[in-house]
Structure 1
Amino acid sequence: MVSTIEKNIQVATHKRQPLISRVQLRKIMLGAILPVGLLVIWEFAGRQSYLNPLLLPMPSEIYHEFIYLLQHGGLLGHLQVSTGRALTGFLVGGGLGLLAGILVGFSYKSEKMLDPSIQMLRMLPHLAIAPLFILWFGFGETSKLLLIAKGSFFPLYVNTFLGIRSMDRKLFEVANVLQFNKWNLVTKLIIPSALPNIFLGIRLSLGVAWLGLVVAEMMGSTTGIGFLINDARAMAMISTVFVGIIIFAVLGKLSDSLVLFIERKCLRWQQNFRGG
């Protein structure tokens, strides 16, 4: 009995797959060539005094500043606040953009009534409406979340609308033959067919949410990574500014990679060209 259990354990251990496959490891290494190479050249140029340390500190100095902020500067607290703001604004703005894209894409009358006004609002830059949001809603969280939501709304709206209008008309003819009601038409035909565009809109909306977060946290905020950058800029602490910039870049990349991972899981049926 004991030997049988031991054999089963050995078989299970033998069949256990590694956390990262060789193909995934190769992709990671290939993607790391450019940033690692730039960091090495940057560090070398700094140590050889080719760069002004007051304007462009070396990567090692930025790393030490990151460790200091992590241990003594409340970096995790700022990071938590910024992440919460970005995700909340994205959920509000992106969710409304998805619903509006489905409504306008599904109805010709809704397009004629709503789309011109939405496209006009889409052209308003963040910096132009930020003072208005401050006057209307003050310096609290409401103005910041609305600014992030405003930016997150339009990419998802446009791509959802485009995904619906790009559908093959024959699919609607099949749905009429099957006598789909409007609910089944939306949930079983329109949304699944528009998923590639919807996922693209989600990725773009997340990127705009992080950009909007920077603007939001630089206008009268006392917490967040954007506030940390703005405060460090005022005090000429360039290393801290670079820490904040790199954090935004990493967070944006991680969120984009997460959406891309979910997209690949949901769209396995697609046969796309992946490059030669």
Structure 2
Amino acid sequence: MTLALPRPVLPLAARRGVEEQAQAPRARRLGPGRRIPGSNLLGPVTVVAIWSIASATGALDPRILPSPWAVLQTAGHLWSDGTLATDIQSSLWRAGQGLALGLALGVVLALLAGLSRWGEAFIDGTVQLYRSIPPLGLIPLFILWLGIGEDFKIAIIALVVYIPIYLNLQSALTGIDSRFVELAEVLGQNRWQFIRHVVLPGALPGFFVGLRLAVTASWLGLVVLEQINATSGLGYMMFQAQNYGRTDVIAVGLLIYGTFGFVSDLVVRLIERRALAWRRSLSN
């Protein structure tokens, strides 16, 4: 006859500690580590600090690049004159219209090419051929088609934007794991249910990668286009400053472009985190 030994009973506090340790996610030894608070601002702040030190010590010639305080002073004068506010509004309007048009075009083409073999046959080869043509090289042709006003600028920005949207979204749509396909067939899902519940959620990470690249591309295209027969905009302001040798005004334009690009990318990443919150819950 064997005696059953009584199980040790831990105190309540000790049991809670063991349960919390069991439920807490394990730290990954080979991972990148914990996220640094404010890491998005660490790089820009470091660059501005180096710029300020170089200007204060005289290591940086103000004729090459003015000091940060001189650039801020120039920005204040331009804002008080009303010219900077008008130029910013014009640039935001052009970039916003081109981004919206390019986003719609890229998403539609990617859905057609990623969800249908016929769509892929007709669309993907054409888009890949277009990739070999520099979008800014189409400026003379679009000027002849649309005139030299605002329409051709918005059209060129849209063409610059839709490429990264299409490439990343179409790749994500066609790269769904075959095991998910088999699982959906076992569950008896029809094609629309499979696209809605499996394909589209699985393609969201690729879409957001393309969106981040597209937002940056819209600002890059805007810098060039606003120097072509424009009467307002940050690019026009910088082009006029070049003619008068005003490096401080050019620096103001570059800082505003950089700020807009940084903030817009940050907004897209915040939306991405909310939309893909389910991935963090699965990883934990």
TM-score of the pair, normalised by structure 1: 0.83
Contact 2:136 2:156 in 1 (8 A): no
- Range with bigger deviation, 108-117 or 195-204: 108-117
Distance 1:273 1:170, change over 3 A: closer
Kindly provide the amino acid, as one letter, of the partner of residue 37 in structure 2.
K
Q: Distance in 2 between matches of 1:259 and 1:234?
A: 36
Query: Which stretches in structure 1 are left out of the alignment for 5+ residues?
Result: 1-22
Within 5 Å, give how 1:21-36 maps onto structure 2.
Answer: 27-28=37-38, 30-36=39-45
Give 2:278's match in structure 1, choosing from 261, 269, 272.
Answer: 269
The residue aligned with 1:41 is 50
CA change 1:155–1:272 in 2 (3 A) is: farther
Separation in 2 of the partners of 1:37 and 1:211?
A: 23
Decide which structure has the larger Cα Rg and report it. Answer: 2
Query: Which amino acid in 1 is paired with 2:161?
Result: S
Q: 1:253 to 1:273 in 2, by over 3 A?
A: farther
Do 2:70 and 2:248's aligned partners in 1 also have CA atoms closer than 8 Å? Answer: yes
Distance 2:193 2:53 in 1: 61
Among candidates 94, 118, 124, match of residue 103 of structure 2: 94
1:127 Cα deviation (Å)?
2.8
Distance 1:83 1:272, change over 3 A: farther
1:165 positional shift: 1.4
How far residue 252 of structure 1 moved from its aligned partner, in angstroms, is 0.7
- Aligned pair 1:254/2:270, yes or no? no
Indicate whether 1:111 and 2:124 are aligned. Answer: no
Deviates more, 1:233-242 or 1:144-153: 233-242
C-alpha RMSD of the superposition: 2.3
Q: Residues 82-161 of structure 1 correspond to what in structure 2 (within 5 A)?
A: 82-161=91-170
What is the Cα deviation at residue 31 of structure 1? 4.2
Counterpart residue number, 1:68? 77
Alignment identity in percent? 33
Please say if residues 126 and 215 of structure 1, whose CA atoms lie closer than 8 Å, have aligned partners that are also in contact: no
Work out the CA distance in 1 between the residues paired with 2:102 and 2:95: 10
CA distance in 2, matches of 1:272, 1:134: 50
Q: What is the letter of the counterpart of residue 102 of structure 1?
A: L
> Of 177, 187, 195, which aligns to 2:196?
187
Residue of structure 2 aligned with 1:56, choices 65, 69, 78: 65
The Cα shift of 1:102 comes to: 1.2
- In structure 2, the CA distance between the partners of 1:123 and 1:273, relative to structure 1 (3 Å rule), is farther
Could you say which residue in structure 1 is the equivalent of 2:176? 167
Unaligned segments of structure 2, at least 5 residues: 1-33
Matched, 1:238 2:247: yes
SS of the residue 1:27 aligns to: coil
